[in-house]
Structure 1
């Protein structure tokens, strides 16, 4: 345990736990048999909300949640964040259900570049020429796939844009990760309950918890697995520099990429591989440029 005595070592351990869990999500969602993506999404919201309420009670953090009532203007961006993260969760579950984990991996590889692009377009941020080149390479990769395969990687784009926009709006909320996610799931809770009522088969029904206990247990676990890596990520963010945290972030889509190839045996066409290689080059340029900028800024 001596190796984890320093804050930086603890931060790396927390980051590995968070990104490793997120990267292994395809294996978890592949366990669901006969449960549709919409039902999994609804249950993920319900059980996440309940589990987060328990965690907030144990940590005695309800005062933070109560403060948002004094700032009703925060509810509109919170609702937008909730809808975006809900859409992202649903698309991700759909990608696993339809055996498109490679597309999901590409989407999360693209997310940092989407963040930079949104910063330039929306926040009018200035970025280094190398970072602009990285964005250009990513756009070129998408256009190349469009010409080579005749279709846009819409699933990858939707995942990247939804999560990137979520991050942009989330910065406007004066809430930590735990409280913010609870507010978001709380806002999504009525929609999730309404969706459950409309589905022909639901494991939320008490009787079905006894007739299909395996699926029911997995649905409940989805809420816990939503919150735990977030708590680990919050611990990592407090202990690591932004550059280290950003570099370790690529563990998530890399694991998804390897799982798609080695576990799910998804085909990887040459055109798709070309897109991935261009995105990887763009990420390398972006990371290198970000590290150079950080070294110039005093700690």
Structure 2
């Protein structure tokens, strides 16, 4: 285990984004099961696993404080609904052979965050970010006009995760406690659906130990990268974390094109190229502004 704080942070970040990046591989293993059943068990076992981790870390004192906070519950009820939609659409995308669409969605997320910052928080954006938003918009419009279809999977993934990030940023709660509360909000719905599956003889969990193992694994896989990300964020600068954000959708893209052989023609290439250009402008502007700030402080 690296002893340097930055090295530890980088290791945790690689674990988090590596797992997120290879999520399509994991979720391809449950495409034979109903998507809503996978989602329900993802919620239930993520909740159980998070509770176990809190117990092992002896962190329940802080979590109990959050559990008594009405403001936290209100914010996380909303974020829970957003993340449930995000998880559900991602499971659907993998099952329907639309990993390329999920890749585009998560590439768009940082730019959605900029848009939300402008519209919701009233943040002033520099010329780099404004130009990046224009390029990203053109990239999405290209798909709509050239392919004649709305990239709804990409847009739903990007918008739900973007708004989710905004809500979580403003909620006074840590990552682990937040995940526990979000899954607790969703658990009654998940358990009700599981009961309906049992009652109608459509349940796979109780019928097969293999299916049960796969469904439990989906819940654990949901929690582990979040824990690793939280550890990385404490040890790395926001700039480094921001660049590593692109690792997961890049993995999705490579898996979609080279492993799953999803259609990737000229129009998709142009659309992705515009989004990638937007991200280059966005990231380059962040580095430029940071350099200027450092020079001003030095001067």
With the shorter chain as reference, the TM-score category is: over 0.9
User: Could you say if the C-alpha distance between residues 218 and 271 of structure 1 is closer, same or farther in structure 2, counting changes exceeding 3 Å?
Assistant: same
Q: Matches of residues 215-254 of structure 1 in structure 2 within 5 Å?
A: 215-254=211-250
Shift of 1:63: 1.4
Contact 1:33 1:215 in 2 (8 A): no
Q: Do structure 1's residue 279 and structure 2's residue 275 form an aligned pair?
A: yes
Give the corresponding residue for 2:141: 143
**What is the TM-score normalised by the length of structure 2?**
0.94
Rounded Cα–Cα distance in structure 1 between residues aligned with 2:293 and 2:177 = 30
Q: Matches of residues 1-299 of structure 1 in structure 2 within 5 Å?
A: 4-199=2-197, 200=200, 201-205=202-206, 208=207, 212-297=208-293
SS class of match (2:30): coil
- The count of aligned residue pairs is 292
CA displacement, residues 128-187 of structure 1 (integer Å, 9 cap, x when unaligned): 111000001111111111111111101100000000000001112111111111110111
CA displacement, residues 204-263 of structure 1 (integer Å, 9 cap, x when unaligned): 43xx1xxx2222111111111111111111111011100001101111000000001111
Contact 2:72 2:173 in 1 (8 A): no
User: Could you say if the C-alpha distance between residues 69 and 13 of structure 1 is closer, same or farther in structure 2, counting changes exceeding 3 Å?
Assistant: closer
Rounded Cα–Cα distance in structure 1 between residues aligned with 2:90 and 2:230 = 22
Shift of 1:33: 4.9
Contact 2:66 2:177 in 1 (8 A): no
Contact 1:243 1:294 in 2 (8 A): no
Contact 1:137 1:279 in 2 (8 A): yes
Alpha-carbon RMSD:
1.4
Shift of 1:293: 2.4
Contact 1:196 1:204 in 2 (8 A): no
Q: Which runs of 5+ in 2 are unaligned?
A: none
Where has structure 1 moved over 6 Å in runs of 4 or more?
none
Shift of 1:296: 3.9
SS class of match (2:132): helix
Rounded Cα–Cα distance in structure 1 between residues aligned with 2:175 and 2:291 = 27
**What is the TM-score normalised by the length of structure 1?**
0.94
Contact 2:31 2:95 in 1 (8 A): no
Higher mean C-alpha displacement, 157-166 vs 64-73: 64-73
